[in-house]
Structure formats: structure tokens, C-alpha cells
């Protein structure tokens, strides 16, 4: 039996500033609400979903491996891409994810997933990227900050 591992994903709505600028913040807020509903219907009950900042969301989940995590995130990306948002039309999301490692700091894990998101945004948007795959392919440097937190 394979043990589940923990994964953290960062989801960023592509061109969200354009939505707010073109349609107003009330419609932008409606997009955020509908996005949260799409997330709830795309992930499992036990997956933890959070809004993080303006148009970013964070997901914490347990999956057997990176392929299973990628499948879950890809399901959301696809569901958002094909959803017709009232007054706005279609929007897309860029997603980056990483495995939580022993000794990870919250900032370290978030930073890895966030770098994968920015890679997606810089390479066409509406994409999903696994940080470890980007490092292995030489697209990102492995500058992981893994260690214990010392409180004083």
C-alpha cells in the first residue's frame, strides 16, 4: 500500500485585474465566489481550500504521488476554462504545485508552488506546473529552504 503525501497548490486567476478594470469590483467579487464554488466541486471533501490574497487560492491535499495531485489540479483548470462566467465569459487559471517535504517551512513550500505559477503565467497562462518537474527540466533552480523553525 502506497502512503499518501501532502501537496500544496497555488491557483491564480489569469488577467483578473482586467476583469476588475473592465467590469468593476462587484463583478470581480462574483467571479471569486464562482471560482470558489468550482473549486469545491472539483476537489474532494477533505481537501483544504483557501483564498489567499486578491485572486489567488491555495489548496492543501493528500495524494499518493505527483501524478494524482496533477490530475486533481488539472480537473480544476479544465473546469474553470470551460465554465461560462456571467457577464465576463471565459476565464482561465494558472496553477503551480509542490510536495510538502519533511522540515519544510510554510514559506518554503508556498514559494516553490508560487514559482511554478509564475512560470505558467510567463509561458502562456492557463497551465499547470509541478515545481519538481520544472527543476528537473532545468527551468527553475532548486533553491529550497528546508529546515526547522527556531522560536525564541
Known catalytic residues?
55
Altogether, the residues listed in the chain come to a count of 152
Q: What backbone torsions phi and psi does residue 127 show, to the nearest 5 degrees?
A: -135, 160
Rounded CA separation 123/135 (Å): 15
Contacts of 90 (CB under 8 A, 6+ apart): 81, 82, 83, 84
What is the pairing mode between strands 5-13 and 93-99? antiparallel
DSSP string, 6-37: EEEEEEEETTHHHHHHHH-HHHHHHHHHHHHH
Amino acid at each position: 500500500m502506497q502512503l499518501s503525501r501532502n501537496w500544496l497548490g497555488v491557483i491564480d486567476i489569469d488577467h483578473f485585474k482586467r476583469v476588475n478594470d473592465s467590469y468593476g469590483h462587484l463583478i470581480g467579487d462574483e467571479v471569486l465566489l464562482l471560482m470558489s464554488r468550482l473549486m469545491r466541486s472539483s476537489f474532494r471533501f477533505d481537501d483544504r481550500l483557501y483564498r489567499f490574497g486578491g485572486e489567488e487560492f491555495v489548496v492543501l491535499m493528500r495524494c499518493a504521488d505527483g501524478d494524482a495531485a496533477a490530475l486533481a489540479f488539472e480537473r480544476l483548470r479544465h473546469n474553470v476554462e470551460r465554465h461560462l462566467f456571467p457577464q465576463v465569459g471565459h476565464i482561465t487559471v494558472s496553477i503551480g504545485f509542490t510536495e510538502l517535504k519533511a522540515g519544510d517551512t510554510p514559506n518554503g513550500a508556498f514559494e516553490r508552488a508560487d514559482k511554478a505559477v509564475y512560470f505558467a503565467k510567463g509561458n502562456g497562462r492557463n497551465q499547470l506546473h509541478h515545481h519538481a518537474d520544472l527543476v528537473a527540466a532545468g527551468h527553475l533552480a532548486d533553491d529550497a529552504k528546508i529546515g526547522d523553525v527556531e522560536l525564541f
